[in-house]
Structure formats: structure tokens, C-alpha cells
Structure 1
């Protein structure tokens, strides 16, 4: 029973940290350009319609 006394709060803290990291990534624009990120993961050259 004493293990549950620290496992449950530890799980809640880790869950809150994960949620906080997800919300931070969402607010900082990490998920704005999903197609571009997928393209950059597969190709070395930029797309033709990209203006540089």
C-alpha cells in the first residue's frame, strides 16, 4: 500500500508534465506545417513552389 502512496502522485505529475509539454508545443507552432515536415523528412531538396 505504501508503494501506491508515491506511485499515484508520480503518475499524476508525469501526466501533467506530458500535458504541459504538449500544450507548449501546440502554442509554439510545432504542429502548424505537418505536410512540410513530412516532406522534409523524406526529401533533401525543397519543394518547387517554395520561395527562398
Structure 2
């Protein structure tokens, strides 16, 4: 996968939306701690997959 490809842009957009969701859940309070960890973990996993795809394809 090359930088600037359609899949790369979609994964970047999805990562950014999840990162924003993580920050929003974080500032909403301690009641959303599990959501912060889940949404943040998914965002990190997507970013790792994106870097792996960039490296191999």
C-alpha cells in the first residue's frame, strides 16, 4: 500500500475519528474508562495494521 492511496486515506480517517472519540470519552469522566481503553486500543491497532500494510505492500 502506498501513501496517498484510497485505503491509506480511509485507515487514516478511521484512526483520527477513533482518536477523537477516545479523547472525548476521556474527558467525559471516570465512568467511561473502559470505553477509553477499548476505543483507544482499536485506534492503535488500526494504525499498526496501516504501518504493516505500508511496509509490505
- With normalisation by structure 2, the TM-score equals 0.46
